[in-house]
């Protein structure tokens, strides 16, 4: 939802460009170098979307027919399943997590069971976790979850679409998370506010292969420096402010927890994602429609009767006040929570 800021638009308008399919766009190169450096990896590749970042990273580490282990509500399992099966020919082996986070025993048992059916190429983890109310693995928990793959010599892909948020929430540098994985995908849209763009990072050799797969997927972009400039601006200017989004999300959660007919445990809100449950469940779309008339958009998402609200660059403290007011007004108008 986030719109590029004036400063970001200016950086985009003034970007130096070239043909990136020939590796000649200086701004894309700079973005790839800075991203690799922030993530502590040898190389990075600019891709149009988070989905493509995950697909090319997984695609260069698995062969057709291989299985991949991942959490059942991960973005890859839930949204990208058709790409993984139809385009890459992979088997998905979903595991049960705690708000999206996998325990080491679950992963180890998953390997044992799944390997009976055929080879497992890779473990996929997500930090922060979208469906898990933006839940975060701290570094040690992520290392433990990855350990069973490491012990078997299998690669780990980290879907870090919101790794910047995980980092802001824990104070752990992105590279300290990325170190645990062989490949990491990150988004410059979402929290960093760029209009388009993601990246995948890993070794030089893997990123070379990822570049070829990106082209096969139709993701080669020409004068892409205009987009890379927006991403670079977000990377340089919008990471430190993410804690403000987190603080506002918590305030929103605490306020709507008081609204009759809305259920949420504010303690679960540690990043910018708020997921609440509407009672009765069948009124959730009515609630979202009602708040939309006041300019507050809620996404019906995350399970029966649930909606998601996400704080971002365009939402200030007054915006949170408006959101609280719109949700309370809608719940009253719909008679939620009345016996």
* Strand ranges (E), the chain: 43-47, 67-71, 91-95, 120-126, 156-160, 183-187, 198-202, 262-263, 273-278, 299-300, 306-310
Q: Residue written as tokens 């809620």?
A: 298
Min dist. Cβ of residue 49 to ligand PLP (A): 3
Nearer to ligand PLP, 172 or 271 (CB): 271
List residues binding ligand PLP (CB under 6 A). 49-51, 54, 75, 126, 130, 159, 161, 187, 189, 198
The token pair that represents 227 in the structure block: 């987009």
Nearer to ligand PLP, 69 or 326 (CB): 69
Closest CA to 11 of 181, 291, 205, 238: 238
Min dist. Cβ of residue 73 to ligand PLP (A): 10
Nearer to ligand PLP, 51 or 228 (CB): 51
Min dist. Cβ of residue 162 to ligand PLP (A): 6
Nearer to ligand PLP, 18 or 195 (CB): 195
Query: CB under 8 Å to 337, separation ≥6 — which residues?
Result: 259, 260, 261, 262, 279, 331
Min dist. Cβ of residue 79 to ligand PLP (A): 7
Min dist. Cβ of residue 157 to ligand PLP (A): 11
Other CB atoms within 10 Å distance of the CB of residue 102: 29
- Nearest residue to ligand PLP by CB is 50
Compute the distance between CA of residue 298 and CA of residue 75 in angstroms, rounded to an integer.
Answer: 19
Query: CB under 8 Å to 72, separation ≥6 — which residues?
Result: 78, 94, 95, 96, 97
Min dist. Cβ of residue 309 to ligand PLP (A): 14
Min dist. Cβ of residue 280 to ligand PLP (A): 28
Compute the distance between CA of residue 166 and CA of residue 157 in angstroms, rounded to an integer.
Answer: 16
Nearer to ligand PLP, 229 or 326 (CB): 229
Pairing of strands 120-126, 91-95: unpaired
Min dist. Cβ of residue 133 to ligand PLP (A): 12
**Interhelix angle 163-170/242-256, nearest 10 degrees:** 80
Other CB atoms within 10 Å distance of the CB of residue 205: 11
Nearer to ligand PLP, 163 or 324 (CB): 163
Min dist. Cβ of residue 198 to ligand PLP (A): 6
Compute the distance between CA of residue 270 and CA of residue 172 in angstroms, rounded to an integer.
Answer: 14
Compute the distance between CA of residue 328 and CA of residue 325 in angstroms, rounded to an integer.
Answer: 5
Nearer to ligand PLP, 262 or 307 (CB): 307
Closest CA to 185 of 22, 75, 313: 75
DSSP helix/strand/coil, 312 = coil
Nearer to ligand PLP, 25 or 126 (CB): 126
């Amino acid at each position: 939802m986030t719109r590029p800021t004036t400063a970001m638009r200016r950086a985009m308008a003034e970007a130096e460009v070239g043909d990136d399919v020939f590796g000649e766009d200086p701004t894309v190169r700079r973005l790839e170098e800075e991203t690799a450096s922030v993530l502590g990896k040898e190389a990075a590749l600019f891709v149009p979307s988070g989905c493509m970042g995950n697909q090319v990273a997984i695609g260069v580490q698995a062969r057709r027919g291989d299985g991949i282990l991942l959490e059942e509500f991960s973005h890859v399992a839930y949204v990208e399943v058709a790409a993984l099966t139809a385009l890459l020919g992979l088997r998905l082996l979903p595991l049960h997590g705690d708000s999206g986070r996998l325990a080491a025993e679950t992963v180890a048992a998953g390997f044992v069971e799944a390997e009976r059916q055929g080879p497992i190429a890779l473990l996929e983890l997500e930090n922060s976790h979208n469906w898990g109310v933006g839940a975060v693995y701290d570094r040690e928990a992520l290392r433990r979850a990855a350990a069973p793959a490491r012990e078997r010599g299998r690669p780990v892909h980290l879907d870090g679409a919101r790794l910047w948020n995980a980092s802001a929430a824990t104070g752990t540098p992105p590279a300290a998370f990325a170190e645990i994985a062989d490949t990491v995908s990150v988004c410059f849209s979402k929290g960093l506010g760029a209009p388009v763009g993601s990246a995948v990072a890993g070794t030089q050799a893997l990123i070379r292969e990822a570049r070829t797969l990106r082209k096969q997927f139709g993701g080669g972009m020409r004068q892409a420096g205009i987009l890379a400039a927006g991403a670079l601006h977000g990377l340089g200017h919008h990471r430190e402010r993410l804690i403000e989004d987190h603080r506002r999300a918590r305030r929103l959660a605490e306020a709507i927890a008081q609204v009759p007919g809305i259920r949420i445990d504010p303690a679960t809100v540690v990043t910018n994602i708020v997921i609440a449950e509407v009672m009765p469940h069948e009124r959730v779309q009515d609630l979202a429609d009602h708040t939309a008339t006041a300019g507050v958009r809620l996404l019906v998402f995350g399970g029966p009767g649930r909606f998601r609200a996400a704080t971002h660059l365009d939402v200030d403290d007054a915006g949170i006040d408006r959101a609280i007011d719109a949700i309370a007004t809608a719940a009253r108008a719909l008679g939620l929570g009345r016996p």
